């Protein structure tokens, strides 16, 4: 996969050709669904490719109905961390499909009853989300361009998201000295998120980076879906590090909120140790 080309060219596709995949393409997609790396090994997940014509896929902000020939359904155990885990895994697949010329769109609304009828769910499993999948409509689509312009206009700059050694300390100087990290962070800013209001913040140290997500108000979680956005962001960061020959290993440090003086509106997700090959 040409990772950076996939990241730069990925957009949410809202109109698809009414074309079926051939058997080889279906087999390749299913292989990618089964081999994507999880963020947490202890959460059982499965990604199912379904024909979507009868599943009643969702609406985008109530403005545009998404009709695609296929969809990917995320099924997971309901355990702590499942949303960032799903985001981390599915974004790997989204980028692989983009590299294959296949369009995708993350959907928050869909006909859950119809999808559940197509899957054999255990008592411990839940459906988290659906991704529309198919070949993009070849004619230039006003909706695709318009929504991208409207939603993409609010993307944050790298210096608005990144800090050095503690929250509030600008990472601008650090990023000027660490050109590869600046490049990696820019690729993360291009990650999709709800309304493109990226809720993730990062704190760099000399040899690590920690990820936090803004999802609380008055001590209570008000936006649990921000954790899925965090998983997508972290997926970009991890893949880009590998692409730049940087060793990246995950670890948990539950003292990170206090250590880096992160505000109470944020939750800690995970940290990553960084070292050159």
Q: DSSP string spanning 137-194?
A: PSS--HHHHHHHHHHHTTPPPHHHHEEESSTTSB-HHHHHH-HHHHHHHHHHHTS--G
Residue 19 and residue 71 share a domain: yes
**Residue 82: left if φ>0, alpha if ψ -120 to 50, beta else—which one?**
alpha
Please give the pLDDT value at position 224.
Answer: 84
Q: pLDDT at position 65, please?
A: 77
With contact defined as beta carbons under 8 Å apart, do 272 and 250 qualify?
A: yes
User: Quick check: is 50 in a domain?
Assistant: yes
Residues 8 and 138 grouped into a single domain: yes
Same domain, 134 and 177: no
11 with 62, same domain? yes
Q: Vertex 269, ends 172 and 12: CA angle to 5°?
A: 75
pLDDT value, residue 273: 98
Please give the DSSP secondary-structure letter assigned to residue 195: G
Residue 134 burial by CB count (10 A; 0-12/13-18/19+): exposed, middle or buried? buried
* Domain contains 166: yes
pLDDT value, residue 196: 76
d(CA 202, CA 172): 13
Task: Give CA torsion, residues 58, 68, 153, 192, to 10 deg.
Answer: 80
State how far Cα 71 lies from the chain centre. Answer: 16
**169 and 200 share one domain:** yes
Decide if 112 is inside a domain: yes
- Note whether 129 and 179 are same-domain residues: no
Residues 236/190, Cβ–Cβ less than 8 Å: yes
CATH number where 21 lies: 3.40.109.10
In the chain (277 residues long), the average pLDDT of successive 10-residue segments reads 96 92 98 97 95 71 74 95 97 98 89 84 91 87 48 58 96 94 95 87 97 92 91 98 96 97 96 90
Residue 159: its pLDDT value, please? 65
CA dist., res. 182 & res. 196, Å (int): 20
Per the listing, tokens 């600008």 go with 170
Q: What is residue 150's predicted lDDT score, i.e. its pLDDT?
A: 47
Provide the domain count of the chain.
2
Q: What is the CATH number of the domain that holds 202?
A: 3.40.109.30
> What pLDDT is recorded for position 55?
72
The structure's pTM equals 0.91
Q: Which of 148, 152, 172, 150 is nearest to 161 (CA)?
A: 172
């Amino acid at each position: 996969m040409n990772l950076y080309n996939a990241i730069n060219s990925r957009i949410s596709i809202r109109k698809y050709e009414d074309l079926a995949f051939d058997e080889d393409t279906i087999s390749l997609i299913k292989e990618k669904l089964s081999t994507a790396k999880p963020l947490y090994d202890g959460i059982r997940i499965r990604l199912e490719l379904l024909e979507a014509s009868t599943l009643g896929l969702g609406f985008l902000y109530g403005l545009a109905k998404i009709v695609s020939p296929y969809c990917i359904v995320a099924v997971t155990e309901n355990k702590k961390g499942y949303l960032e885990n799903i985001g981390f895994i599915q974004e790997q697949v989204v980028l692989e499909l983009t590299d294959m010329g296949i369009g995708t769109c993350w959907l928050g609304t869909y006909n859950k009853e119809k999808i559940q009828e197509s899957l054999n769910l255990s008592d411990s499993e839940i459906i988290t989300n659906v991704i529309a999948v198919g070949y993009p409509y070849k004619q230039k689509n006003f909706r695709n361009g318009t929504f991208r312009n409207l939603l993409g206009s609010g993307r944050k700059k790298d210096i608005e998201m990144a800090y050095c050694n503690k929250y509030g300390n600008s990472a601008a100087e650090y990023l000027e000295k660490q050109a590869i990290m600046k490049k990696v962070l820019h690729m993360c800013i291009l990650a999709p998120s709800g309304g493109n209001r990226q809720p993730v913040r990062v704190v760099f140290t000399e040899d690590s980076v920690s990820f936090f997500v803004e999802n609380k108000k008055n001590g209570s979680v008000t936006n649990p879906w921000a954790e899925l956005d965090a998983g997508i962001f972290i997926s970009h960061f991890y893949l880009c590090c590998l692409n730049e020959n940087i060793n990246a290993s995950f670890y948990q440090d539950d003292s990170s909120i206090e250590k880096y003086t992160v505000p109470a509106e944020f939750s800690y997700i995970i940290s990553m140790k960084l070292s050159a090959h």
